[in-house]
Amino acid sequence: MESAVKSVSEFADSRAATNALLNILRGGRLSPPAVARFLAQAAHRSLRQAANRPRALAELTALHSLLLALAAGRRPGRRWVATSWALAVLHLGLLERREQLTAADTLTLIRANLPALPGGASRWSGPLAIVLDLADGRLARRRGTVSPFGDYADTFADAAYWTWLTLRHEPSRAVRTAAVAAWALPVVTVTAMALRRGTMPERPRPTLLRPAAVMQGLVALRHLTRR
């Protein structure tokens, strides 16, 4: 067990490490021992990667401490922010060669925590989320700081915020169903493919039709104009 843990932890490339972890599940046919081994090795690598990036860890902690203060007395409030911090810390290895967060990463994490912040359910929260989304993407591309961490944080920030806003404030069952499918279906599909193949597939990036982006605009507009 110890030698196996080290072998996964020593992968420098996050994708190679992810594929090695997925092979554990595939080889063990998702049996309880395989799942336990997968979780142990994933946690071991994640903690080592976080420890190897003290500056990024400190930046994450400082940002989420501020968000915790703003979320006091709100629902979902501090539990939401604490979960965001834990997930971000466990994925610091996705920064790869970088040792710190970028401005784009910070905007993405703020967007992910909008439900816990003052005004997170206001009429203008949807347009604000879209503006933050566009801003962090533009910053990352302009400064050449795109990383797997920012890429996946962006995906989960979208899924977390828009699913919460839709389920909490959208009265139309049809819109709720379509919105959840737009964000949940790609995640489920990619996860199923990864477990079946034992490798992480490339996420689909349609150039013309973007169902999730269309749903963002629709949900934001309906929330903005609803009385």
* pLDDT per residue as tens, the chain (227 positions): 444 444 454 445 677 878 888 888 788 878 888 888 888 888 888 888 889 999 999 999 999 999 999 998 888 889 999 999 999 998 898 888 888 999 999 999 999 999 999 888 899 999 999 999 999 988 988 887 778 888 888 888 988 999 999 999 989 999 999 888 888 777 788 788 877 777 776 655 544 446 778 888 899 999 999 86
Q: Are residues 86 and 132 in the same domain?
A: yes
Which range of residues forms the domain containing residue 40? 1-52
Place of tokens 């709720």: 176
Q: Which of 52, 74, 93 is the last residue of a domain?
A: 52
111 in Cβ contact with 204 (< 8 Å): no
Quick one: DSSP state of residue 201?
P
Q: In terms of domains, do 196 and 95 share one?
A: yes
Residue 3 shares a structural domain with residue 76? no
The verdict on 37 and 97 lying in the same domain is no
Record the tokens describing residue 133, joined without a space: 């989304």
Strand, coil or helix: what is 175? Answer: helix
- 48 in the same domain as 4: yes
End-to-end CA distance of the chain: 59
What angle is formed at CA 62 by the lines to CA 132 and CA 8, rounded to 5 degrees? 90
Asked whether residue 80 falls in the same domain as residue 39, the answer is: no
Number of domains in the chain: 2
Rounded to whole angstroms, how far apart are CA atoms 160 and 117? 14
**Could you tell me if 124 and 37 lie in one domain?**
no
pTM: 0.84
- Please identify, among 52, 69, 94, the residue that sits at the C-terminal boundary of a domain: 52
C-alpha radius of gyration, the chain, whole number: 18
DSSP letter (8 states) at residue 11: -
Q: Do 43 and 139 share a domain, yes or no?
A: no
**Is 159 in the same domain as 124?**
yes
Report the pLDDT value the prediction gives residue 111, as an integer from 0 to 100.
95
The closest of 106, 111, 103 to 160, measured between CA atoms, is 111
* Whole-number pLDDT of residue 145: 73
Report whether 50 contacts 57 (CB < 8 A).
yes
Same structural domain, 22 and 68: no
Rounded to 10 deg, the angle between the 2-9 and 14-27 helix axes is 140
| Whether residue 16 is found in the same domain as residue 105 | no
Cα distance between residue 68 and residue 87, in whole Å: 15
